[in-house]
């Protein structure tokens, strides 16, 4: 009797569908022939298509004409070879004819006997990744610039113009310093208050969407916080299913118990990690099992990831946004986490799938760098130019000393903006 691979895959999906339904990254599964069997809400969020319309379609049906054939051939290649293909960018058209760019990983789902049951896909929209990087990079930059621009403004207040022309110079550099200060305040407000910075807004100024995030935070406060529960048997059931469905997923994934200890790791993905010098590490599962999450991270990254984990475990909600760079590796990752619950509804652990952002990170940083430099370029140029022209005038020695200090600080800001985006 011929095995029913599609039914086997459906059963595996059904057993952990409750996890994937709320996972903060797009996840889908298809049959060997490309017939869609499951797409989670996050994967369907940007398409605006009815869920059944997506499920009853063929893989890549809603991709652009340019990418449809490429995506279809890629999927068929994965089904034929049984090997995953990662970090492909595809353009997807939604029901409103709007297009979205996704970074996609396609991987085979194998039975315990090694037979290909079908294929899986994990997708992250590029814009979301840029927003995450924008918040973090701009926030760090703003915190570094703030004390410098504060010093500049204090020195500007000490300037004493002796004539109408010097008063115009003072007005000019004061306005430019205020512009820089406002850019810094806007960036910090977006990051510290939970606002999101849209990528297109870099060229025109910061567009803050803080209110929406505040409403989301308010909903989280209403969630009854409960300490995580110890249930190793149920956790093992989840792990067994994940090993089948995600066993050959190229994106690193881990299962954490209620103490933030690694109790399952995606063996295939871990074996493909490379050191900072480019040589393969070929890490084994035993390198992680039984160790606390974050042991391979810097203290800053570890605190960042643990804070994300604690929210997931105590609030019981899926979250995305943990960016970390493991010590000794060349890769940078974006972590998404989903709580795992037992039949009583208690949180017993978490599934984390990490998207390797190294290649996309480089392109993203380049885009953000150009936009940020553009934002700071005009006020910095005016500030430096105004101070330089004033300095060339025969002004008082006190003013000369202050103007030189202002110019040095402005050049330091310019250096920070440039060096922050070195790759």
Residues with Cβ within 8 Å of residue 27, at least 6 apart in sequence = 20, 38, 39, 40, 42, 43, 120, 121, 122, 123
| 211 occurs within a structural domain | no
**Is residue 314 over pLDDT 60?**
yes
| 177 occurs within a structural domain | no
| 285 occurs within a structural domain | yes
Of 125, 148, 165, which residue sits at a domain end? 125
pLDDT for the residue numbered 192: 45
Residues with Cβ within 8 Å of residue 100, at least 6 apart in sequence = 46, 91, 92, 94, 125, 127
Helix residue ranges per DSSP H, 46-159? 51-55, 65-81, 126-158
Q: How confident is the model at residue 91 (pLDDT cuts 50, 70, 90)?
A: low
Here the tokens at position 1 are 């009797």
Percentage of the chain exceeding pLDDT 90: 19
Of 356, 383, 410, which residue sits at a domain end? 356
pLDDT digits (tens, 9 = 90+) for 13-22: 888 888 888 7
**Is residue 181 over pLDDT 90?**
no
User: What CA–CA distance (Å, rounded) separates 283 from 286?
Assistant: 8
pLDDT for the residue numbered 216: 46
**Is residue 219 over pLDDT 50?**
no
User: Radius of gyration over alpha carbons of the chain, in Å?
Assistant: 26
**Is residue 362 over pLDDT 60?**
no
Q: How confident is the model at residue 153 (pLDDT cuts 50, 70, 90)?
A: very high
| 117 occurs within a structural domain | yes
**Is residue 116 over pLDDT 70?**
yes
Here the tokens at position 129 are 């990744």
pLDDT for the residue numbered 136: 64
Mean pLDDT confidence for 362-380: 63
| 187 occurs within a structural domain | no
Residues with Cβ within 8 Å of residue 209, at least 6 apart in sequence = 195, 196, 198
228 and 117 in a single domain? The answer is: no
Domain containing 41 equals: 5-125
User: What CA–CA distance (Å, rounded) separates 202 from 367?
Assistant: 10
230 and 349 in a single domain? The answer is: yes
* Contact indicator for 100, 291 with CB cutoff of 8 Å: no
* Contact indicator for 387, 410 with CB cutoff of 8 Å: yes
User: What CA–CA distance (Å, rounded) separates 416 from 201?
Assistant: 21
pLDDT digits (tens, 9 = 90+) for 50-82: 556 555 566 656 666 667 777 788 888 999 999
Which CATH number is 253's domain given?
Answer: 3.30.450.20
String of DSSP letters for 360-387: HHHHHHHHHHHHHHHHHHHHHHHHHHHH
pLDDT for the residue numbered 208: 33
| 59 occurs within a structural domain | yes
User: What CA–CA distance (Å, rounded) separates 16 from 284?
Assistant: 25
229 and 349 in a single domain? The answer is: yes
Helix, coil or strand: residue 288:
coil
Count of domains in the chain? 2
Q: How far is CA 398 from the centre of its chain?
A: 48
Helix, coil or strand: residue 59:
coil
Average pLDDT, rounded, for the chain: 76
230 and 342 in a single domain? The answer is: yes
What sign for the dihedral angle of Cα 57, 60, 65, 69? Answer: negative
**Is residue 154 over pLDDT 90?**
yes
| 173 occurs within a structural domain | no
List the strands of the sheet with 347-356, edge to edge: 262-265, 253-256, 347-356, 333-341, 319-324
Mean pLDDT confidence for 321-344: 81
234 and 112 in a single domain? The answer is: no
**Is residue 34 over pLDDT 50?**
yes
| 145 occurs within a structural domain | no
Of 356, 372, 391, which residue sits at a domain end? 356
**Is residue 349 over pLDDT 90?**
yes
**Is residue 222 over pLDDT 50?**
no
pLDDT digits (tens, 9 = 90+) for 187-210: 666 554 443 333 333 323 323 333
228 and 120 in a single domain? The answer is: no
Highest mean pLDDT pick, 71-80, 139-148, 177-186, 273-282: 71-80
113 and 227 in a single domain? The answer is: no
């Amino acid at each position: 009797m011929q095995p029913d691979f599609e039914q086997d895959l459906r059963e595996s999906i059904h057993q952990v569908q409750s996890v994937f339904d709320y996972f903060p990254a797009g996840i889908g599964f298809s049959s060997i022939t490309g017939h869609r069997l499951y797409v989670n809400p996050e994967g369907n969020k940007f398409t605006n298509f009815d869920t059944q319309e997506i499920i009853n379609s063929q893989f890549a049906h809603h991709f652009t004409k340019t990418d449809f054939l490429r995506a279809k051939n890629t999927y068929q290649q994965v089904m034929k070879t049984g090997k995953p293909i990662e970090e492909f960018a595809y353009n997807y058209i939604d029901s409103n004819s709007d297009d979205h760019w996704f970074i996609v990983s396609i991987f085979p789902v194998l039975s315990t006997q090694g037979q290909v049951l079908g294929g899986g896909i994990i997708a992250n929209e590029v814009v979301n990744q840029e927003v995450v990087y924008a918040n973090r990079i701009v926030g760090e930059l703003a915190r570094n610039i703030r004390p410098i621009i504060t010093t500049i403004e204090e020195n500007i207040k000490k300037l004493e113009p002796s004539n109408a022309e010097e008063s115009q110079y003072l007005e000019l550099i004061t306005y430019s310093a205020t512009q820089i200060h406002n850019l810094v305040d806007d960036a910090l407000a977006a990051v510290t208050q939970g606002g999101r910075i849209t990528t297109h807004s870099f060229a025109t100024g910061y567009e803050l969407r803080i209110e929406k995030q505040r409403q989301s935070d308010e909903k989280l406060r209403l969630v009854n916080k409960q300490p995580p529960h110890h249930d190793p048997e149920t956790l093992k059931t989840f792990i067994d299913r994940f090993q089948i469905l995600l066993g050959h997923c190229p994106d690193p994934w881990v299962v954490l118990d209620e103490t933030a200890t690694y109790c399952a790791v995606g063996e295939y993905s871990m074996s493909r990690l490379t050191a900072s010098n480019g040589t393969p590490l070929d890490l084994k599962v035993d390198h992680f099992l039984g160790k606390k999450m974050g042991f391979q991270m810097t203290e800053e990254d570890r605190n960042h990831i643990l804070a994300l984990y604690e929210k997931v475990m105590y609030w019981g909600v899926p979250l995305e946004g943990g960016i970390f760079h493991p010590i000794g590796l060349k890769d940078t990752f974006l972590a998404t986490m989903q709580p795992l619950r037992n039949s009583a509804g208690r949180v017993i652990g978490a599934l984390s799938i990490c998207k390797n952002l190294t290649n996309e990170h480089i392109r993203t940083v380049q885009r953000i760098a150009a936009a940020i430099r553009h934002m700071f370029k005009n006020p910095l140029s005016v500030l430096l130019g105004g101070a330089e022209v004033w300095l060339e005038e025969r002004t008082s020695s006190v003013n000369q000393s202050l103007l030189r200090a202002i110019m040095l600080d402005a050049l330091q800001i310019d250096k920070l903006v440039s060096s922050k985006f070195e790759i």
